[in-house]
Chain A
């Protein structure tokens, strides 16, 4: 294994985040604080408890997931798209590196950044609402799996995109609606029956449900189903990236 290559790619990507510290870490935290102010305090004050949990605390797992998903995708997609755009990707392609090593470097760095954002938001939430984590190991498991799988998904978008418009297309038109309709701010049974069925086709529902269960033992679906869906998504992304590197799709044309 080319450990040196993994190290330099990881370090390079982390350094990129460090150079844009405000944009990378402060911006998501500020956005989440605004969500707490608007939904937790202004609107949440008028909503009674949801499944025995105060509304302010109830939305914390959803808000963390919202930030994790968007930042995992943004970090990883930009990380690989930019070398493609500038042409410096030639260096990665001509180096003695396997696709797994490239993934560990780029996706590892993107996932680390998202993980840090998740932890910072969690800590920030503690200032606004009383938080207890019923199953810390499950919470960390969902946190890590989500960071990795959506960074992988972002990496795929970065490989697929041929211009900046396409780079933004999937996060804006697919991910944001899925997250907002994925139960960040409500439980499924608060929806009309028809929409409850439709919602079950949204994979983000399973993520947020599992993550919320690890906090409050409240979930829309079984935690094992949530784990299965996240793991399946991770595997699907891995297979897709493997195929893209094997065929050179949008890389070696």
Chain B
């Protein structure tokens, strides 16, 4: 569209340490990630005009960082928030409202130091809709909601625990190539199936990690990006969607709002599914990946189990997915979406070009997909390197 600038990601980073970091608060982790991402870009705190955050309010984060933003967005739709922010930040830069945007998220999810108010695990009030119509029955948080969705998918389509296990095993293989990953030792399908049931049909290894970590992403215009340190990664298409908040209100338990956000992102980018070289698809649970791939249209509804099997999504497979090791094996503090962006930008910049299997060779076009709440809200973004 004429009159609009190209928005680009120019800096990405995690906090200094990720995994188990008991001596650092949630805001400290976010501060480190911010400084590291700005250093990656070659920009300064004083360059930041727009702050995008979830968990902590943008004003809390900006205050801690010493930023006085003229643009902020605290859209909080769970772990997908930061992928949604990426689209919103791209719009703010494309329209010329701001030149530099900071997206930052993460928390002390494992050590629980200085958590933001309302962090998952706290209870909604007894008079809220969740308090009246879900909490009395003991659903175990996100795990229980996704488990019920997975159970119906298995019932309708014959999806198997072995197929879900393939997702966990592939994530662990990618994590084995990533020195920052929390779980790196090899994992087999048999070990996944032998792990204890948490909330049937989910076993331990169907579920994401709980770690301490933060991440940050810095954007600016393509014109300004050309003067910066790193190869710019353009944000060329984005979408977001929601069709419920409570799992008991989901219109179709086997489908998520990726069927809203995905087509919007692809249409805006003007690319096809087969053009995508590398994808990061939020993996709070193995099943989250499976249904998201279907909702996004990489395969038909019900065919996700076959799609992820046979090593297709593992290192060396023809659909490189969650190449950091994902929330299942790399890191997952509570809201993972920021890390899907970080990994895909690194792949498209070729940051791992000297690490054989770790780098998806020649990756030019990437997809990032976040899922928040209980399949409640998604963001999909398509990124391009020149």
A binds B: no
Seen from chain A, the residues whose Cβ lies within 8 Å of a Cβ on chain B are none
